Amino acid sequence: MFNIALFEPEIPQNTGNIARLCAATGCHLHLIGPLGFSLREKHLKRAGLDYWHLVDVHIYDSFEDFTTKHSNARFYYITAKGKHCYTEFDFQPGDFFVFGSETHGLPEELLAANRESCLRIPMVSGARCLNLSNSVAIVVYSALHKQMFRGLS
């Protein structure tokens, strides 16, 4: 369905929760290193529960490695600095939603080079950001809604 890419994730519980979301929605999970934890981390496994066998996980050493392997894909960068609201687009199966690390977000040069593809989740003034796994769930379920939840029961 859709692709969730986590750029240098730092908190294993967030990644585990996102893996569980991917298992429940049929999304593919892409982890772009360096990762801030081991994939053997008990908190990662616990948050993902027994869903790991249902998750299609891809791991990349760098952002360049990631984009090279998916050079023909459409990427949307989710950031509090986004020009557009995430609800403004009609996403298509195969699209990539790229999320930054919990403490640093996405690199400024990446955002500057892709302004038209930078999407934000509206929040009240003064709020810095949402939890990473909550942000992923908001965007994924909105995209699935626009696809009329095709393939899900």
Q: Return the CATH number at 99.
A: 3.40.1280.10
121 is in an annotated binding site: yes
Note whether residue 107 is domain-resident.
Answer: yes
Q: What is the pLDDT of residues 5-53, one digit of tens each?
A: 999 999 999 999 999 999 999 999 999 999 998 887 677 777 666 788 8
First to last CA, the chain: 14
Residue span of the structural domain in which 27 resides: 3-146
d(CA 8, CA 21): 18
Q: What is the pLDDT of residues 114-128, one digit of tens each?
A: 999 999 999 998 888
Mean pLDDT of 80-104: 95
Note whether residue 151 is domain-resident.
Answer: no
Q: What is the pLDDT of residue 42?
A: 77
Rounded to 5 degrees, what are φ and ψ at 115?
-50, -40
100 is in an annotated binding site: yes
Note whether residue 139 is domain-resident.
Answer: yes
pLDDT tier at 76, thresholds 50, 70, 90:
very high
**Cβ atoms 4, 28 nearer than 8 A:** yes
Note whether residue 152 is domain-resident.
Answer: no
pLDDT over 90 at 140, yes or no? yes
Note whether residue 49 is domain-resident.
Answer: yes
Any alpha helices (H) in the chain, and if so which ranges?
12-25, 42-48, 63-69, 108-113, 132-146
From 59, 129, 74, 67, select the one nearest 100 (Cα to Cα): 129
d(CA 64, CA 44): 25
Q: What's the pTM value of the predicted model, to 2 decimals?
A: 0.94
Total structural domains within the chain = 1
Note whether residue 90 is domain-resident.
Answer: yes
Q: What is the pLDDT of residue 47?
A: 66
Note whether residue 153 is domain-resident.
Answer: no
33 is in an annotated binding site: no
Q: Which residue has the higher pLDDT, 100 or 48?
A: 100
Note whether residue 135 is domain-resident.
Answer: yes
